[in-house]
Chains A and B, each alone.
Chain A
Amino acid sequence: MTADMIVCPHCGKENFPQVTRCVHCGKELEELFKIEGVEGTTPMPSEEGSELPEILKSFREEERKAPEPTEPPSTTEEQEDTPALIEDDEQSPQKEEPEVPEWLARIRARAAQETDATGDLASRAGTMDQVQSGEKHAEIDKEFTSWIERLRESKQREVLQSARKASEEGENAEGVPEWLQKIREMHPEVEGEETQPIESEPSEESSLSEGAAVPDVHESKEASREETQPLEEATAPTPVSEAAQPEEGTLAEPQEELTEEQRGEQLETQAVSETKKPTQEPKAPEILEPIIEELGMQPEVSVPPEESETAEEQSVAQDLLLLRSQKERAEVLRNLIAEEGKAFPPAHKPKSPHKSWYRLVVGLFLLAALIGTLLFVPPPTLKESAAPAHVIALQEVLQTLGSGDKVLVVLDYQPATSRELESMAAPVLQFIAERGVDWQLLVTQPSGLWLAQELASTAGITPIPEVNYLPGGGLGVFALAIDQNKSLPLLPTSLSALSDYRAILLLEDSGSQFQVWMEQAAPWLGKARFLVLIASQDAAVVLPYYDSGQVSGYAAGTQEGALTAKSLGQQPLQLPHERALQVGLITMMVILILAMITKAEADASERRREKNA
């Protein structure tokens, strides 16, 4: 796990590899993604530098900055591999030579640790040290510039020839590598005369022939970007010792960074290339020769004179290849960073081939049970003996009320729960009105103004008593409780002080609002005089206050409301939504059971699939 993490260059802590900013210190981790010299550098002020491509400019810039103490930070992999690399560098003659540029040494070091085609190139790049004099350096830069231009040209050419490409896919199917097709496409005359050497075509005087030869090289590299193997095939002949039989040696080397699929493809292409060896093998070195001739490389001292020239030429091309691969990787990383944070498309899950027809049967059965229950099962009968203690306490307090007693009825519920509360409160209000109790209506929400009218009409009380509105929420309740002298101007004028009421009947649908009354008003009143009718979901909130004596009695939900009504001698209110409540409850039960069944079925089918697999 930690091997996949990246280390922040600023604070040294680990981060996930996909982040661009350190989660510990918040600083940019972009440098970790930076391929040396690709970004964040300024071009050299030299005249040649202005003509160079950006990547080379940045390489030079880094070379110039190398002696400075602040070196660009490296990735975790680099840090891990650094000792081995340093040892390799120290042992190699490149480091000892002062002419070797820093950027080139770094690229070679990176290529050496990556055992792909470019790494193979770099491992044989010793001859490059002799070549890299000042003049050669400029020549290489110039050559690389021309390479980049040719890359662009060939890209345009590819777009134009896309139709022709499509027709040649048939040839692909025959096993011919794509890079070879492109070479054939660019040089039909070479295709016809495969045994004819290509080095006779280009010459230093003829720019046309040069232009014809170099794109071939480019095309082989272009193919290498799309497929790893063609690149290896194209670069295979580079070793000096294997110049005569280039492909076999390169392909035999292990490719550690390739995935298994790529290795499979490689093996397939290798097999194809072996069948077509007479036509493919001489191509890559022959294609590279015009460029190397153009560069005018010096023969290597340690190598035999007849082979050293070829080795130098190839090593130059290898370095150019290295540069290109670095740039391609930078582009890949840029794309990765740009894609960071975007959601991955959901993985396609194949549908189970098993038909779960019994799900439908179970669903239909449950639906039938629901309908049958609603149609044939009678509503539950109420038995007064089963009334809980708090309902009996409520009934007893209500029955003690008589004529002349003052009762304040507080409507503190929302319209959504008005049906439930009205079914509970209407019989109680009828009982109070019959007893001749002096009662007043107080609402704490603006919607209470019309809810009070509805409640009074539901209870059949005429005329509708005056409705008082208490603004301010909890603050208003507090003010109402402490204002014994009626001195606060914002409070309803027709109300008495709370302590003057014999009972305060709260109609609540919210536990928190009920608590406001208990905490803001009850402490100032001293004597327990609160009666509560509350929605069933908040019954649990009221019970502790009832047990502590702050509430004299309460009823929660329609069933307890009906019990209260019966005990008071009133007819419980039959509401049309009683069945709807049952439908809702049964539907929820059905959904829960279905969820369990479908989950069990999914598990079973998964097990079956694993067993079959």
Chain B
Amino acid sequence: MKKAIPILIAVLSGLLVLAALIWQPQLEGWLEVMLNWAVIIASMAALVALATLLLAHTRKIIKVRHGFIYSLILVVAFLVSFAGGMTAGVENPNYLHWIAAIQQPAEASLLGLAALVMAAASLRLFHQRGWSALTVSFGISALVFLMLGLGWLQALQIPQLDIVIGYLEALPLVGMRGLLIGMGLGALLLGFRIVLGLERPYGE
């Protein structure tokens, strides 16, 4: 019984959404009720997750565990943001400007760091893997697409070159299409398994 109830809820929800795609006017009310419940439960889950996060980091600070300084920064940043939003309002321009001044450079730096890490990894790739089909194809394709990204070759306006560039630019699109087809098939199969109760991503 303990296992049957979650399976029953999941199967009924899936079947209801599928049926609503076909009989939308008739089942729209039921679908909205189900969505309301889902939104409430998801909001509660988010609050519980937030409380758990704060408790875990507060515990770490109190016990002065290794790396507690990061927990301290997290908790203080949360409290300040929370207090600012509650007092000034989340749509206050000053408050938004203040948040933007922190978040934007932080995220941009993170992306820059990711680019640096990738560059360093490409350096190590050749030294650690040596000359192989993988490394050579990686190096050549990376160089080609970086060059295309600069746009200088396209600016030359040579018709034959444009044909080659068009062919090269279509390659990632073809690969992505294959990936999307695979993802779609996988999602379809997973949906069937969930509806049939064979797959239980919500736990046993």
Contact = CB atoms under 8 A, between A and B. Distances in A.
Q: Do A and B bind each other?
A: yes
Interface of A: 377, 380-381, 383, 386, 414-418, 446-447, 449-451, 453-454, 467, 471-472, 475-476, 478-479, 482-485, 487-490, 523-524, 536, 539-541, 543-544, 559, 582, 584-589, 591-596, 598-599, 602-603
Contact of B38 (A414, A446, A475): A475
Nearest to B148: A585
Given A523-B21, A585-B146, A592 B139 contact: yes
Tell which of A416, A544, A598 has the most Cβ of chain B within 10 Å: A416
Contact of A540 (B31, B43, B90, B173): B173
Given A585-B146, A585-B149, A482 B100 contact: no
Given A416-B108, A598-B126, 8 more contacts: A451-B100, A453-B96, A476-B39, A483-B32, A487-B32, A544-B176, A588-B118, A591-B123
Interface stretch (B57-65, B72-80, B152-160): B152-160
B66 interface: no
Contacts of A539: 173
Q: Which 5 A-B pairs have the closest CB atoms?
A: A450-B96, A540-B176, A416-B107, A380-B155, A380-B151
Interface of B: 20-21, 24, 28, 31-32, 35-36, 38-39, 42-43, 90-91, 93, 96-97, 99-100, 103-104, 107-108, 110-111, 115, 118-119, 122-123, 125-127, 130-131, 139, 142-143, 146-147, 149-152, 154-155, 157, 162, 172-173, 175-177, 180
Contact of A599 (B24, B127, B143, B176): B127
B177 A450 contact: no
B154 A543 contact: no
Contact of B175 (A451, A475, A540): A540
A541 B93 contact: no
Contact of B122 (A483, A488, A584, A595): A595
B126 A595 contact: yes
Tell which of A415, A479, A485 has the most Cβ of chain B within 10 Å: A415
Contacts of B31: 482
B-side interface mostly: helix
A591 B143 CA distance: 10
A332 to B, nearest CB: 35
A479 B147 contact: no
Given A449-B91, A472-B42, A595-B122, A586 B110 contact: no
B180 A544 contact: yes
Nearest to B100: A450
B108 A540 contact: no
Tell which of B35, B36, B42, B93 has the most Cβ of chain A within 10 Å: B35
A591 B131 contact: no
A377 B90 contact: no
A416 B99 CA distance: 13
A482 B139 contact: no
A523 B143 CA distance: 40
Contacts of B157: 383, 386
B176 A488 contact: no
A589 B147 contact: yes
Given A383-B157, A543-B173, A588-B119, A450 B99 contact: yes
Contacts of B172: 540
B36 A488 contact: yes
Contacts of A417: 111
A383 B100 CA distance: 36
Given A415-B104, A447-B99, A592-B142, A543 B176 contact: yes
Given A591-B119, A599-B126, A415 B100 contact: yes
Nearest to B101: A450
Given A383-B157, A598-B127, A592 B122 contact: yes
B155 to A, nearest CB: 4
Given A475-B39, A488-B35, A559 B151 contact: yes
Contact of B90 (A449, A478, A559, A599): A449
A540 B173 CA distance: 5
Nearest to A487: B32
Given A414-B107, A586-B150, A595-B126, A381 B119 contact: no
15 contacts: A415-B100, A415-B107, A416-B108, A450-B99, A471-B43, A472-B42, A523-B21, A541-B180, A544-B180, A586-B146, A588-B118, A588-B146, A595-B125, A595-B126, A602-B127
A587 B119 contact: yes
Given A383-B157, A453-B96, A543-B173, A482 B20 contact: yes
